[in-house]
Structure 1
Amino acid sequence: MADHRIRELDLTGKIRMRLVPVAREVRALHEQRGNPSHEHSGSRQNGRGGTTVAARQWRIQKGEDGRRHLVETLRFSSREIQDLLRTNVTDAGWTWRGVLHKP
């Protein structure tokens, strides 16, 4: 299992992986809980399966020219975590299979 938590965005996620040695494959289920959008802060969103959550956080900062600019303070994509795990599995000669239900 791979867990991730982004407190600034009230977001948690898990990638559950089940090894199937006979078939040399990993069956993976991605679960996401939280609120990636501050616009809808009253509602929590849950997802399971092939979902991707991407979020960015910005702030306004005064630049050297005296003008205000948007500066990115946080960037998150659940796809980056899943891609890293998938690459490690396939580089080891195994197959990665995403599933939509608990393995």
Structure 2
Amino acid sequence: MHKKPYLNLIGLAYRARKCSLGEETIIRDIQEGRAKLVLLANDTGKQTKKKLTDKCHFYNVPLYVVDDDRDTLSKAVGKTDRVAIAILDDGFAKKFKTLLN
């Protein structure tokens, strides 16, 4: 059990297939209007961070830089080296907003 409830929610969203991983996939989901919210690890590289931040601003998708690193974010979905996660479901996105604000 994680100390931070949003990490459990990431795992749930992933198992429910309501999130996307990987920079290219996330950008496509932002552009095509599927991404409802994007979570970024606090140790995301400058270029990736800028690219995702710019896309989110342009397409009006909320972006949260969480206070966890890529390892913690990756463990939440059972993968390695994940710095960003896009949430593709309104219900999950709403819940993340309440947990992260």
Q: Is the shorter-chain TM-score for this pair beyond 0.5, marking a shared fold?
A: no
Structure 1 or 2, whichever has the larger Rg, is 1
- Greater fraction helix: 2
Higher RCO, 1 or 2 (CA under 8 Å, sep at least 6)? 2
- Greater fraction strand: 1
TM-score (norm 1): 0.30
TM-score (norm 2): 0.30
